[in-house]
Structure 1
Amino acid sequence: MSDSIRVRHAEPVDAAGLYALFSEAEAYGGTLQPPFPSQAAWERVLADPPRHMVQLVAIDADGCLAGAAGFEVFSNPRRRHAANLGMAVAKRRRGQGIGTRLLQSVIETAERWHGVRRLELEVYTDNAAAIALYERHGFVREGHARGYALRDGAYVDVYLMARLRDRV
């Protein structure tokens, strides 16, 4: 099914799709995105994206946004070799290889075109599917942060994971 998916850089026309994706409780509940996002905020970000941030989208054969992944390269000179990753797949499209396609695209873009040698992420400890996806792509658990983020009224734990280009 992921053969009909096209991954590309996000454009201003994707604001409505990103708004819809991150309006899903599963998307904002599985990421650090706040609930009830503003479409206007997505329009502003996509109209003038920061140079150190890359936002990719997965578009299906019908032209609908099925998922998104992005990374932010750190600006501190001593951390410019590292970036932080975030991603989400629409609930109705999970289990179809879209996360794999997005993650492969992020890794290739970050490592081959932005000089990223260390790709970092935080993943909730109860998100077994995402953890398995990241591990299949060379990410390893480096830490366990307790009470890391507020989710649905409770502070929950995350694993700190990273992929080091020299070790994959």
Structure 2
Amino acid sequence: MHKSTNGLEIRRSHVGDAAAMAQLMSHPEVLPGLLQMPYGSEEHWKQRLTDNLAPARSQDLQLVALLDGRVVGSAGLMLANPSPRRRHVMHMGIAVLPEAQGRGVGGALMSALLDYADHWAHVLRVELGVFVDNERAIRLYQRHGFEIEGRQRAYALVNGRYMDSYCMARLHPQPPQWPGPLDSASA
């Protein structure tokens, strides 16, 4: 758990967050920026948060941001693919309530996830998708080292129209290196 001076707390999500997650992901100003479907239920989120505890998902990390004890944001890192050839890659998703935007919530969630990816989870590449009209999110991602790598045309249906999406990624800025073979004299 991380607590800041402005009342912002970042912690791992748990099953008790299901109702707050359903509200966050269904918020009419948040939903269009996600790939979630409308009318998400608390039961769905209970199951999803329970599934996050499975041993097969042990590398994944789902965080929530709380302001004054209320969930106002969520972000997660999920293994992009179980193939040994892609285990160095994680996919990121983030959502922040409109009233909490501009208050450092997104930046705090991003920083926490990237610290986990860089220093604990052996991740070389973090990927995400963002709709091309979400300029605020694109700027946030770029501030954290993400670059636009491509554009996917008609990527998803959003409010009855097809929307393009950018593929963005960030490579570990200083990938861990082994210092080299031990000197036999010092061993």
Indicate whether the TM-score tops 0.5: yes
Matched, 1:3 2:6: yes
1:39-69 deviation digits (Å, cap 9, x = unpaired): 10111122231334321000112x1001000
Q: Which amino acid aligns with 1:66?
A: V
Matched, 1:149 2:156: yes
Structure 1 segments of 4+ aligned residues over 4 angstroms from their partners: none
Tell me which protein shows more helix as a share of its residues: 1
1:113-168 deviation digits (Å, cap 9, x = unpaired): 11111000000000000000000000000001110111111110011000000479
Q: Give, in angstroms, the shift of residue 111 of structure 1.
A: 2.0
Partner of 1:75: 82
Cα distance in 2 between the residues matched to 1:102 and 1:2 = 15
Q: Which moved more, 1:110-119 or 1:154-163?
A: 110-119
Partner of 2:184: none
Matched residues, percent identical? Answer: 40
* Count of aligned pairs between the two proteins: 167
Unaligned segments of structure 1, at least 5 residues: none
Unaligned segments of structure 2, at least 5 residues: 176-187
Change (3 A) 1:58 1:2: farther
Cα distance in 1 between the residues matched to 2:17 and 2:31 = 17
Q: Give, in angstroms, the shift of residue 2 of structure 1.
A: 7.1
Aligned partner (choices 155, 164, 167) of residue 171 of structure 2: 164
Contact 1:53/1:71 (8 A) holds in 2:
yes
| Larger Rg computed on CA atoms | 2
Aligned ranges 1:7-26 → 2 under 5 Å? 7-26=10-29
Q: Give, in angstroms, the shift of residue 28 of structure 1.
A: 1.5
Partner of 2:38: 35
TM, length-normalised to structure 2: 0.84
Partner of 2:51: 48
Q: CA RMSD in A?
A: 1.6
Cα distance in 1 between the residues matched to 2:158 and 2:90 = 24
Q: Give, in angstroms, the shift of residue 25 of structure 1.
A: 1.6
Partner of 1:66: 72
Contact 2:59/2:121 (8 A) holds in 1:
no
TM, length-normalised to structure 1: 0.94
Q: Secondary structure at the match of 2:26?
A: coil
Q: Give, in angstroms, the shift of residue 104 of structure 1.
A: 0.5
Q: Which amino acid aligns with 2:73?
A: G
